[in-house]
Amino acid sequence: MNAMGFAWRSLIRQPARASLGVLGVAAVGALLFDMLLLSQGLVVSMRDLFERTGFDLRVTATDSLPGQGPLIPNAVAAARAIAKLPTVRSAIALRFANATIVDGGPRGYYTSFQGVEGTGAHPWSILRGRDIGTGAEIVINENTATRLALAPGSRVVLRASCTDQKQALPPMPFTVAGVAQFPFDTPRGATLATSLEMLADACGGNESDEADVIMVASQDSAGPAAAVADVATLLPDLRVLSNAEAVNRFERGGFTYFRQISTVLTTVTLSFAVLLITVLLTVSINQRLGEIAALRALGFSRWRVVADVLCESVLIVGGGGLLSLPIGGLLAAGLDNILKRIPGIPADVHFFVFQPSALRVHLLLLAATAVIAALYPIRIVARLPIAATLRDEVVG
Amino acid sequence: MIPRRIVVALAAVAVAAATLHAADTLPSILISRQLSESEHIAVGDVVRLSRESDGAAAQQFRVSGVYEPTPDPARLGAVIREVQLHLPDLLTLTREPAMPAGSEYVESINVALVDPADADAFARDVQARMPGISAQPATGAAESTGPFLVLRRFHLAIAIVTIVASTVFLLALTIMLVDERRAAVGVLRLIGLPIRRILVQLFLEGLLIATIGSLFGLVLSLVSEGLINRFFQWRYDTALVFVRVTPEVAAICVAIAVPLGVSATVVASWALLRRNGLRLARR
């Protein structure tokens, strides 16, 4: 019988003990797996979201995030100039504001309001109806459509709010052209979009050619790096960021907390697993010292009994590790649901994202745990004095 | 209260501003430690601030002090480059040319009460007398905001998983430890000690071990509290406290750990004691 088969038989001799060991490793392993998914999940999810918008450059007036800094002056002209660059496929100017839909209630329905102008596709996907045309038309997201029972063709009156200052702008009528999905919508967020010109009209018509951000799609043949260089040369007063740079900045921002907590918890869970498996194996070995000494006396080599202990550790950790994957998947879904309730998080962003690299690291860490946890019990069996142990067993 | 957007914009301009030396008659400002360190601006220096990104219509200010920003978990990881101005100076600097003085607005007003215990009643009173104004006690405001509630739930979920894993391991360990004393328990049964008496003894042993283990865990958490806080404060350059072992938290931990330890011992012992005494004592 080989070492693995022998270790298996040793474990099933004590089914309760072995099962509890495997279950314990499964619980710890599930937490470890989730922490690995969390460590890069948010960044991977944000990168995916950026790429899905179809634009790979963002041009802003300052280093502030779009919507939180000063507006870009002459934005439409700038977007057209950018679109003509050989490394650029298309460019659109976007301006963000807020609006209240007058719905008969005392306060109205508060929404995010954006205006777009340029040569590229609009940064939303039409679900029903059609895209905005040249008139006073808007597209609305699903939450707004459901909440106010609106459909393509419905008429709405909205009051825009375009600066920090308290404004009393006149209400303006719009026709709903379609229902759209916006990539950065929050689960309960309400979003409207129209042309930059109509947004400027709703904002009082004083800032008709200003935008928060110009989104640029680079030519596939040129790539974003060349487009960044060209745009920066064309408009040296503006800030240009590629998706990779934006993700990098995001990674260094406030959400590094999740990466840090995942590192801390990974370290703690691994230490916990090593300590407890070591204790389980050590106690188990101590109870079987006489048996192991007898096997040595019968001709089992030192390396063979060492291999038996190592295989026992591998079986406990391996069994627990296999169980940890489905448990970890379910746990990750639950924890993701909790974290996605943080206000302002887009509905399509996830904190726990599966990546093959996370699975590889998980397996590697579990394998290291199995080996490290077995070191001390291995030392006991390797140095076991056969005759003295047998005598103690008989005399004791 | 200075609007954050303006503070950020001003800070960004301050970064680009040249430091000059000028007379003491200039209006004074405070700058954050991080801004002072990154731009080498010292107390007494004169900086130029503008609300425009191109530095137009800049005004001169004298740096009268450097302050440590109030720790803010929402800005963790951000290098806080901030400037604090006297409110009239800020309004003068940021007012639109066409806007008459006195028509500006502020985002919030911080109120210090004579008796902080009156905060709830004061907030209710303000809201009743001034419709449209939201008044909240400062302590409640911090805890009622979404991100902190969500993070608390997340940490609770992680804690529950950890407790489940610990319980399983604990049960496995106690089964083995009790099993190791099988012969001794068998002899006690054979000399006439009733199961109940042995169970009480094992219960007391479990209680003692669980209590000592809990106390050791508390000492370990107190030691690691300092280490974790120091590491993350260094990592994020913040005075924020990340881990705090409060008496309440310690009590909850002991209240969970001791019953868990004792229960695991009793469950494992009961499984052993149900066996025949002769069988237990047999080698």
Of A62, A272, A335, nearest to B157 by CB-CB distance is A335
Give chain B's end-to-end CA distance (angstroms, integer). 79
DSSP code, position A350: -
**Domain layout of chain A by residue ranges:** 3-50+255-395, 62-237
User: Phi and psi for A217 in degrees, rounded to 5?
Assistant: -105, 125
Per DSSP, helices labelled H in chain A are 3-13, 15-52, 75-83, 142-148, 196-202, 224-234, 243-252, 256-287, 289-298, 302-339, 356-382, 386-395
Q: Which of A264, A275, A277 to mutate to test the interface with B (most CBs of B within 10 A)?
A: A264
Order across the sheet with B59-67: list the strands.
B46-49, B59-67, B28-32, B83-85
- Give pLDDT, residue A206: 65
Max mean pLDDT among A53-57, A388-392, B29-33, B67-71 falls in B29-33
- Give pLDDT, residue B281: 60
* pLDDT above 90: residue B78: no
Cβ-Cβ contacts under 8 Å, A331 against chain B: 161
- Give pLDDT, residue A301: 87
From the list A50, A52, A54, the residue with the least C-alpha distance to A42 is: A50
Distance CA A194, CA A385 (A): 84
Chain center to CA of A319 = 28
Cβ separation A341–B232 shorter than 8 A? no
Distance from CA of A396 to the nearest CA of B (A): 10
Cβ-Cβ contacts under 8 Å, A28 against chain B: 165
From the list A120, A125, A101, the residue with the least C-alpha distance to A112 is: A101
Quick one: average pLDDT of B117-145? 74
pLDDT tens column, B243-274: 888 999 899 889 988 998 888 888 888 777 77
Which chain B residue has its CA at the smallest distance from A290's CA? B283
% of chain B surpassing 70 pLDDT: 83
Token output for B7: 């503070």
- Give pLDDT, residue A2: 82
Cβ-Cβ contacts under 8 Å, B236 against chain A: 256
Give chain A's end-to-end CA distance (angstroms, integer). 30
Quick one: average pLDDT of B10-34? 65
Token output for A39: 């460590």
Burial of B63 (0-12, 13-18, 19+ CB in 10 A): buried
Distance CA A24, CA A276 (A): 9
- Max Cα distance, chain A (Å): 101
- B55, B48 contact by CB (below 8 A): yes
Distance CA A64, CA A54 (A): 22
Cβ-Cβ contacts under 8 Å, B173 against chain A: 276, 279-280, 283
Token output for A220: 């596939």
Distance CA B273, CA B271 (A): 6
- Give pLDDT, residue A255: 64
Cβ-Cβ contacts under 8 Å, A257 against chain B: 73, 76-77
Distance CA B220, CA B192 (A): 42
- Give pLDDT, residue B19: 46
Alpha-carbon distances of B78 from A311, B40, B151, rounded to whole Å: 48, 18, 19
Cβ-Cβ contacts under 8 Å, B181 against chain A: none
Amino acid at B56: A
Q: Which of A252, A342, A393 to mutate to test the interface with B (most CBs of B within 10 A)?
A: A342
Q: How many CA atoms lie within 13 A of A334 on its CB side?
A: 16
Distance from CA of B213 to the nearest CA of A (A): 14
Alpha-carbon distances of B157 from A30, A37, A235, A320, B152, rounded to whole Å: 13, 16, 49, 21, 9
Distance from CA of A68 to the nearest CA of B (A): 7
Of B9, B75, B232, nearest to A254 by CB-CB distance is B75
- A105, A147 contact by CB (below 8 A): no
Distance from CA of B281 to the nearest CA of A (A): 13
From the list A264, A320, A343, the residue with the least C-alpha distance to A24 is: A320
Cβ-Cβ contacts under 8 Å, A260 against chain B: 232, 235
Token output for B111: 């109120």
Distance CA A276, CA B166 (A): 9
B96 vs B218, which has greater pLDDT?
Answer: B218
Chain center to CA of A94 = 26
* pLDDT above 50: residue B220: yes
Distance CA A308, CA A295 (A): 11
Distance CA A395, CA B230 (A): 55
pLDDT tens column, A84-124: 999 999 999 999 888 888 876 666 788 889 999 877 788 88
DSSP secondary structure string for all residues of A32-47 = HHHHHHHHHHHHHHHH
From the list A8, A4, A32, the residue with the least C-alpha distance to A323 is: A32
Cβ-Cβ contacts under 8 Å, A27 against chain B: 161, 164-165, 168
Alpha-carbon distances of A196 from A75, A97, A180, A312, rounded to whole Å: 10, 11, 17, 68
Cβ separation B165–A164 shorter than 8 A? no
Cβ-Cβ contacts under 8 Å, B81 against chain A: none
Cβ-Cβ contacts under 8 Å, A237 against chain B: 54
Distance CA A214, CA A76 (A): 9
- B1, B83 contact by CB (below 8 A): no
Q: Which of B7, B53, B243 to mutate to test the interface with A (most CBs of A within 10 A)?
A: B53
Distance from CA of B183 to the nearest CA of A (A): 11
Q: Which of A120-134, A356-370, B9-23, B175-189 has the lowest mean pLDDT?
A: B9-23
Q: Which of A13, A257, A285, A316 to mutate to test the interface with B (most CBs of B within 10 A)?
A: A257
Is the minimum CB–CB distance between B95 and chain A shorter than 8 Å? no
Distance from CA of A164 to the nearest CA of B (A): 9
Confidence label for B279 from pLDDT (cuts 50, 70 and 90): low
Which chain A residue has its CA at the smallest distance from B180's CA? A287
Burial of A201 (0-12, 13-18, 19+ CB in 10 A): middle
Mapping DSSP onto H, E and C, the string for chain B reads: CCCHHHHHHHHHHHHHCCCECCCCCCCEEEEEHHHHHHHCCCCCCEEEECCCCCCCCCEEEEEEEEECCCCCHHHCCCCCCCEEECHHHHHHHHCCCCCCCCCCCCCCCCCCCCCHHHHHHHHHHHHHHCCCCCCCCHHHHHHHCHHHHHHHHHHHHHHHHHHHHHHHHHHHHHHHHHHHCHHHHHHHHHCCCCHHHHHHHHHHHHHHHHHHHHHHHHHHHHHHHHHHHHHHHHHHCCCCCCCCCCHHHHHHHHHHHHHHHHHHHHHHHHHHHCCCHHHHHCC
Cβ separation B5–A164 shorter than 8 A? yes
Q: Report yes or no for ipTM above 0.85.
A: no
Q: pLDDT per position in chain A (396 positions), as tens? A: 788 888 888 888 878 778 888 888 888 889 889 988 988 888 888 888 888 888 889 898 877 777 777 788 888 888 999 989 999 999 999 998 888 888 766 667 888 899 998 777 888 889 999 998 888 899 999 999 998 889 999 999 988 887 655 556 778 899 999 999 988 888 888 999 999 888 888 887 766 688 888 999 998 888 888 999 999 999 888 888 888 888 877 776 656 677 778 887 888 888 888 887 888 888 888 878 888 888 888 888 888 888 988 888 889 889 988 999 999 999 999 988 888 887 778 888 888 899 899 999 999 998 998 889 889 989 988 888 888 888 887 665
Cβ-Cβ contacts under 8 Å, B3 against chain A: 164
Is the minimum CB–CB distance between B9 and chain A shorter than 8 Å? yes
- A86, A133 contact by CB (below 8 A): no
Token output for B43: 């107390």
Is the dihedral angle over the CA atoms B74, B76, B81, B84 positive or is it negative? Answer: positive
Tokens 């007012």, located at residue: B95
Of B12, B176, B180, nearest to A62 by CB-CB distance is B12
Cβ separation A254–B180 shorter than 8 A? no
Distance from CA of B166 to the nearest CA of A (A): 7
Q: What is the pTM of this model?
A: 0.71
Cβ-Cβ contacts under 8 Å, A64 against chain B: 5, 8-9, 12
Distance from CA of B153 to the nearest CA of A (A): 7
Chain center to CA of A215 = 23
Residues A109-119 as b/e (b if ≥16 CB within 10 A, e otherwise) read: bebbbbbbbbe
